[in-house]
Amino acid sequence: MQTERVIAQPSTVASVTQRAAEIIRRGGLVAFPTETVYGLGANALDATAVAKIYEAKGRASDNPLIVHIAHLADLDRVARDIPEAADKLMRVFWPGPVSLLMKKHPDIPDQVTGGLDTVVVRMPSHKVARALIIAAGTPIAAPSANTSGNVSATTADHVAADLGGRIDLIIDGGAVEYGLESTVIDCTTTPLAILRPGSISQDQIQAVIGPVELLTDAERPRSPGMKYRHYSPHTPLTLALCSNTPFNEWLPQYVDGRDTDRIALICHSEPTTTNVTHYPLPADPAAAAPLLFDTLRAADTDAVDEIIIEGWPEQGIGTAIMDRLRKAATRIEE
Ligand code: TXA
Ligand code: MG
């Protein structure tokens, strides 16, 4: 399959999304930018179209997809028995990077939800994503637009590298704003539970709704996707937490002890060794997040045998970054 690629600029958003919407309506696959990461979209009401998403990504069929809508009026087409808490959260955080788990509407095919009775719904704020959903006139099921298990795509180039030749169209809307996937909240339990930490923090959610649980990895079978290895570069990744020894003392010792000098180092401290290819990232996790996946992909080249990444404090967005890095890491240095 030939994958077409088009650029969405302010002056072309309308025409580009019209074309893309036609592809969605006839059952095709379109990658599009959102404020979190790029999504790989299909008509959420078309089981055959949705099946193509799993095939293109190589995704396990029991790992459900998020359904994207553009207006609150569309919610009743995809979910039912909306909990009061979900209603409150969507009024504050939508459109934006928060996804809410609710009871599914019978029209949503089992292919979207992995056979579950629930559906995760999100209303993106990105102009292109919104224009596409509106033009398609249907809710759009979209996972992150990467090969299953790989780091999510935050640019159109990332999408093309993973899915080129497997999907109909890529809409290039430039780099994304947040760079981490949305926060997924189970709204059917008391207290509510964060199934996946994301760009909106537990504190921000609690400020609206009161106590919310942040599930540990062990509890996450409630979110089928969390059991799979995720966000991983192909190169072995060492995550340095340095809870006891400071990073700048640990680093040279560790690098000296490795039997390769082909090491990429992603860090926000000053590197205390020169035997590495250095990729700097900001110390502020909110500033680092939009650059994180691009940097992991850049470091993940044939020229290195190992990537070392310095951890961030697990607060605010740091919690979401560390969730991704703990899953990506092949080795964690406590
Ligand atoms: O920011 C985002 O959420 C991006 C953009 C494209 O919107 N999408 C995204 O989708 O990250 P994906 O498929 O990569 O991650 C969706 C997560 C998975 O961990 C999946 O298991 C979980 O949400 N999920 C979806 N539906 C679910 C359901 N009914 N019950 C439990 N977990 C669900
Ligand atoms: Mg994903």
8 A C-beta contact, residue 36 and residue 181? yes
Which of 123, 131, 124, 125 minimizes the C-alpha distance to 171?
Answer: 131
Range 308-315 average pLDDT: 96
Q: Is the CB of 130 under 6 A from ligand 1?
A: no
Residues 219-269 have pLDDT tens digits of: 766 666 666 666 788 999 999 998 889 999 999 999 999 999 899 999 999
d(CA 84, CA 94): 15
Q: What is the pLDDT of residue 98?
A: 98
Cα(260) to centroid(ligand 1), Å = 37
- Ligand 1 atom nearest to 120, measured from its CA: 26
The answer to whether the bond into 191 is cis (omega within 30° of 0) is yes
Range 132-144 average pLDDT: 98
Q: What is the pLDDT of residue 302?
A: 81
Q: Is the CB of 120 under 6 A from ligand 1?
A: yes
Q: Please name which ligand lies nearest the alpha carbon of 65.
A: 1
Residues with CB under 5 A from ligand 2 (ion): 144
Mean pLDDT of the chain: 95
Which residue do the tokens 């997040």 mark? 289
Q: Phi and psi at residue 99, in whole multiples of 5°? A: -115, 135
For the purposes of burial, counting CB atoms within 10 Å of the CB of 302, is it exposed (0-12), middle (13-18) or buried (19 or more)? exposed
Contact residues for 34 (Cβ-Cβ < 8 A; gap 6+): 68, 124, 126, 129, 142, 176
d(CA 148, CA 53): 11
| CA 61 to each of CA 13, 225, 279: distance values in angstroms, whole numbers, following the listed order | 32, 10, 36
Residue % of the chain over a pLDDT of 70: 96
Q: Phi and psi at residue 39, in whole multiples of 5°? A: -110, 155
